[in-house]
Structure 1
Amino acid sequence: MKSSMQGLNTMMLGMHIDRAQRSLMPLTFRFSMGLRLLISLLLGFFVALVGTVAHRMGAAMNIPYGLLLALVLAGLSAWEARARSGIIGLVLHLVASCFGVGMLAGQGPMGDVLIPVGGAAFTTYFGLYVGYYWLLGLIVVQFVIALLPLHWFVVVPRLSDDAPIPTAEATSASISDVSAIEEHPSTVKDAEWDRKERHDE
């Protein structure tokens, strides 16, 4: 089972996959490896920008739904980066998102700060510390994605909207069923003999 999952992961990463199968993959999975890594890099910057803008929503009311949405976005984007281009894509996504957040955490040209931490203006717990949760949570979420099992990131090509290509497990199961019948031909003959007797009666 482990080897079959590795084979599917190899197919997923675009290695040893023919053009017909590649055309059945999601759009961004059809590109070359270099382009897929570039997409992971750009998505890391995108997550940093959107998450930094959104993470303070609700913090003033001590209901940090913006932080939750930002971390969910980071997790989904990191999952897609690993599924699309393996652990290298996830590393690039992590580096790009951390670099982007680091740039946005500083003071802007007009003196504005997008990730304020502390200050007398904030009176609630999350108002004071939500910036820390965003900075640390962005890293923790992507480390968790890196530790998840490999088969959680396998994307199987599809023949149609509701007909997936048979996996290696399904193929081996069907082969074992056929071999079991071949090993015990007497059971097939007995079933045919019973059918003939019923027909004669």
Structure 2
Amino acid sequence: MNPRPGGPGCSSTNMEPGMLELHTKMDGTINVYTVDHRDTGRSNRLNCVAAQAMTTAPPLGTDIDPKEVPSCAKDLLFKYGYLSAFSITSAATDISTFISDYTNGANTFVYGVSYDTSWVERLMHLNTPSMNGYILDSVQASSGVPTDKSNYMSTTDRDYGEVGEYFMGLCDRDAECKAHFPSANLSSTVHNRDPSHL
């Protein structure tokens, strides 16, 4: 079993408590490993010194100022060459190679959640012979999904907003909940709140 957390940006350390719990519940009869996508967690960081985002007191914190992008691109090209080593295919190849080189002949499954379902899907395309199965615990996909049906981080507010609006609409149908919002419904109250009180 190879649990993969969401990311990139989310470290595999987030999965460690669950991994320990799973290992314990299975009486130590399984091996559980995790790896970090290149540039996340314990892996090699894609660090742009020219942008100063990883230095002490950078101008924009960990954000890169758009004016720094050209010098950052030159810095990364000088340090790493072309950045294909940081691609999802290279990251999937890391997992495939690890599994192929270190398999103990037992069943091997890879689990991915959030962004890492794309990573696991890419691993599936590599057709690693010693794999027994893949668990995709999220809706991210790297191919085959029409763009209007894809889940994008840029549309998270809108997508979750639909769920939130439905949930808040239930308040309008419940007398006890509705009584707390006599001058406007819950949705209007939330949307018209004073930002200084957040």
TM-score normalized with structure 2 length: 0.24
Greater relative CO (CA pairs within 8 A, separation 6+)? 1
Higher helix share: 1
